[in-house]
Structure 1
Amino acid sequence: MADPTEWLGIADRLVGVIDLKAGKAVHAVAGKRNEYQPVSLVNEAANSAPDSPFPPDAAHVRASDGDPAALVRWYRRFGITRFYVADLDSLTDGEVQRESIERLIKDASNDSDALQPDRWLIDVGLRKDVIARHSKWLTSNRFFASSDAASVQWIVASESAESVDVIDTASRHCDPGGLILGVDFRDGRFIGPDKASEPAGVDAWMSRAKEAGINRALLIDVSAVGTGRSDASVSTLRGVAERHPGWRWISGGGCRQTKDVDAYVCAGCDEVLIASALLPKLQPCT
């Protein structure tokens, strides 16, 4: 169980991760998506310390497994108001979880008492066909229009791209200021639009995005996710950030302690993804 006071002090750097699969929040480990299990949380009613921002681990009471809204409330105990949502259904060529995403943002916004709006970074695997089928949804604020407590940015991920041209397609439909470039790696190898006749490397991917007016990037090495090993991912971030100055970086993976967050920041990161370090120990689901 994490020490809440340790993490509350750096909440302005943290982005809470929500991996969404079939409407459930699941626990990610090393990018092995077929092995993800629903996140289990301690029941709020078991909190014996009302003045604490964090419930005691001793209760071991299972709340609704995989409830994404409960996970948002959990993150808020650490002062986190920024969230990264990965739509694992769409990222594995399934349907975009529009209703689940809408419901999550609406419920979270209604529950929020933060002075600043929640910020949502959403990855639905933007490909040309996804953009074409969901263009009105991507450009409409209707699903959180009932609340002033949310802002949404969409991720154009290299992992999902057929070619670098998807960056131009996304930029035509969405304000480039509301787009974040996804720069995906596995074991230090760039996962780019290799479906194209001429596979693009990370430098070509980033250069096209810069030309389109995108200036924020989210770099993830999926092999580090949920493992507690961040060194390789930090090294990858540092190398890319040094070659591409002027970008605002979000990254993470393998963070277990605040010193891991510091390492990402020192490598050029503005915001750091966090999940496993703040979650209860994963228990087998029955």
Structure 2
Amino acid sequence: MQIVPVLDLMGGQVVRGIAGRRDEYKPNQSCLVEGSEPLATARAFRERFGLTRVYVADLDAIAEAQPDFETIGELVESGFQISVDCGSVSLQTAERLRQFAVEEIIVPLETLADWKALEQLLEVIPTTSLRFSLDLMNSDPMGVLGENNTTLEIVDRVSGFGLTKYIVLDLAAVGMNGGLQTLGVCQSILERNPQAKIWTGGGIRNWEEIEELQNACDIDGLLVASALHDGQISPAEVKRLSKT
């Protein structure tokens, strides 16, 4: 299991996620770095914790603005392996992200219009470069497709496209310091597809919880932001996890 730090971007700054209520997000305050500049924040993750893989959620792009290609380019040029969620991914946007050498393009359920859109993306982007984000709100799947499909129906459809990499995230838990709410879903995905590689997160509080999760389920990565910024997880603990 690896820790994957999260950069939620809005208006060119890192913001603090609060239960998916994006109108309440404010520039991040952290014990790791002064200010909320994205590259400085990413460098703090690397310098303090040795973390070079970062999950970037471009919240402006998710709200249908242009992706923050400038920040994405700076992160890649500075040696970070990044997975980018910029909402509904057009073929043009996907190709540009690949030109930036983005490691993974996230396909989020929240903004996926229909299965045809995913099928078209797969015609030009290899499955190894895509990660499907199973976006939940209080355990219910989000977006248009979430209205007419159960969580496991969505998982089965995604698996049918040959995708094996997932993010499982309940936005209601993000930034609330209430513990992970997605363990059961992750276990169900792995029962259906033992080869699945899953990142999950939302509400991770401390090292003790991470140890419990490591013993409970074969999760590949944990998305963490607040617990790192607030000093609830130490560099020594993160480095200990990387050796297991």
The TM tier, using the shorter chain, reads: 0.7 to 0.9
Confirm or deny that 1:30 pairs with 2:19: yes
Q: Distance in 1 between matches of 2:163 and 2:145?
A: 21
Q: Distance in 2 between matches of 1:37 and 1:234?
A: 28
Task: Provide the residue aligned with 1:70 in structure 2.
Answer: 40
* Residue type at the aligned position of 1:121: S
**1:183-226, Cα deviation, whole Å (9 max, x unpaired):** 1111111114338xx83333333233323221111100011111
Deviation at 1:96, TM superposition (A): 1.7
Q: Distance in 2 between matches of 1:36 and 1:280?
A: 16
Q: Distance in 1 between matches of 2:202 and 2:209?
A: 9
Q: Distance in 1 between matches of 2:165 and 2:159?
A: 9
Share of identical aligned residues, percent?
Answer: 27
Q: What TM-score comes out, normalization by structure 1 length? A: 0.73
Task: Provide the residue aligned with 2:104 in structure 1.
Answer: 153
CA 1:95–1:248: 2 relative to 1, 3 Å: same
Task: Provide the residue aligned with 1:132 in structure 2.
Answer: 91
SS at match of 1:177: helix
* Residue type at the aligned position of 1:202: T
**1:130-186, Cα deviation, whole Å (9 max, x unpaired):** 41342431332xx35xxxxxx510111111101122221221121111110111111
> Is 1:219–1:250's contact at 8 Å kept on the other side of the alignment?
yes
**1:61-114, Cα deviation, whole Å (9 max, x unpaired):** x72x220111112211112121100010011122222222222322x32xxxxx
What is the correspondence of 1:72-91 to structure 2 with a 5 Å cutoff? 72-76=42-46, 77-91=48-62
**Higher helix content, 1 or 2:** 2
Task: Provide the residue aligned with 1:7 in structure 2.
Answer: none
Task: Provide the residue aligned with 1:183 in structure 2.
Answer: 134
Higher gyration radius (CA):
1
CA 1:136–1:240: 2 relative to 1, 3 Å: closer
CA 1:123–1:209: 2 relative to 1, 3 Å: same
Q: What TM-score comes out, normalization by structure 2 length? A: 0.84
* Residue type at the aligned position of 1:119: Q
Structure 1 gaps of 5+ residues are 1-11, 43-54, 56-61, 110-117, 145-150, 282-286
**Cα RMSD between the aligned structures?**
2.3
